[in-house]
Structure 1
C-alpha cells in the first residue's frame, strides 16, 4: 500500500480558510477520505458503513444524508447528490467541529446559528422550511412511534447535562414576587 496522493498546498490553504480545519487536520481527513473511498476522488453513502463511530448512532442515516444534501453543499437547491468530493466532505464535516473560545462573540453566534441551521436541515427532509411530526418519526432504516428512553440516552450521551441543566433559585430576587 503506497502513500496516498496529497493535496497541493494552495488547496489545503483554501480548505483551511473555508472550513476552519488546520492544515494538519485536512491532511489527516484527506487520508481518511481516501481510505473510506478506496482511493477514489468521490464518496458514496455506502462508504460511511466503514465508520465504526456511526454504526450504533441512532441518527446515523440522518447524519449520512446530511453529507449528500445539496443545501449543506452550498448548491442552494433541495435534494441530494449521489457522490461527494473531498471538499464536499470537509465542508459538511466542518459543521461538526468544536468551536473554541478563541473566536469573537459575533463569530461564535454566527457559527452557532449555522450549526443549528445544519441540524434543522437534517430533520427538514423535504426542504420546505418546517419540521413535521412525520419528518421527526421518519428514519429510512426504521420507523419510530416515538423516541424511547434508550434512544434518548444514546442521543444525549455526550451532552454534559450535569453542567448544562440547572436553574438558579438561590440568587433570585424575591422582593418583586412577595409583594
Structure 2
C-alpha cells in the first residue's frame, strides 16, 4: 500500500486558522477522511456508515446531514450537496469539537453559543426564540458535550 498523500503546510495553516484544529489534528483527520473515502478527494453520505462510534449516536442522521447542508458549508442557499471536500468536512466538524474546561469562561461561552446556533432554527420549539432557548440552556455544558469523536476513532474496524 502506498503512503497517504499529505496536505501542503500552507493549507494546514489555513485550515488551522479557520477551524481551530491543531496541525496534528488536521493531519490525522485528513488521513481518516482519505481512509473513509478510499482515497477520493470528496466524501458522500455513505462514507459515514463506516464510522462505528457514530452508529450508536441517537442523532446520527442529523449529524451526517449537517455535513452536507449548504448553509453549514458557507453557502447562502438552503438544501444539500451530494459530496463534500476535506475542507468542507473539517469546517463542519469544527462545530463538533470537544471543548474541555481548560478554556476561559468567555471562550466556553462563545463555543457554547456557536454550537447552539449550529442547530437548525426549525429544531427549536414553536414560539421560543433563540435568545429564549439560550436562557433555557444556560446551565447546560453543551460546549463540552456536543461533539463527535473522529480523532479517537478506531480505524482497525474500518480497515479491510
TM over 0.5: yes
C-alpha deviation, 1:70, in angstroms: 1.1
1:59 aligned partner? 59
RMSD (Å) for aligned C-alpha atoms: 2.0
Gaps of 5+ in 1: 122-128, 134-157, 160-179
2:54 matched to 1:72? no
Q: Secondary structure at the match of 2:70?
A: coil
- TM-superposed CA distance for 1:102, in Å, is 4.6
Question: What's the counterpart of residue 88 of structure 1?
Answer: 88
Helix, strand or coil at the partner of 2:73: coil
Q: How does 1:63-142 map to 2 (within 5 A)?
A: 63-118=63-118, 120-121=119-120, 129-131=121-123
Structure with higher helix content = 2
Give TM-score scaled by structure 2 length.
0.72
Task: Find the aligned partners of 1:59 and 1:32 in 2 and give their Cα distance.
Answer: 21
For the pair shown, the structure with the greater C-alpha radius of gyration is 1
Q: Whose RCO is larger (CA < 8 A, sep 6+)?
A: 2
1:12 aligned counterpart, secondary structure: helix
Q: Which runs of 5+ in 2 are unaligned?
A: 126-143, 146-160
1:78 is paired with a residue whose SS is coil
Quote how far apart the aligned CAs of 1:12 are. Answer: 0.3
CA displacement 1:11-51 (0-9 Å, x = unmatched): 00011111111111100000000000011100000110100
2-structure distance, mates of 1:80, 1:8: 29
CA distance in 2, matches of 1:117, 1:20: 17
Is 1:33 aligned to residue 33 of structure 2? Answer: yes
Structure 2 counterpart of 1:47: 47
Count of paired positions: 127
Distance 2:56 2:11 in 1: 34
In structure 2, the partner of 1:148 is: none
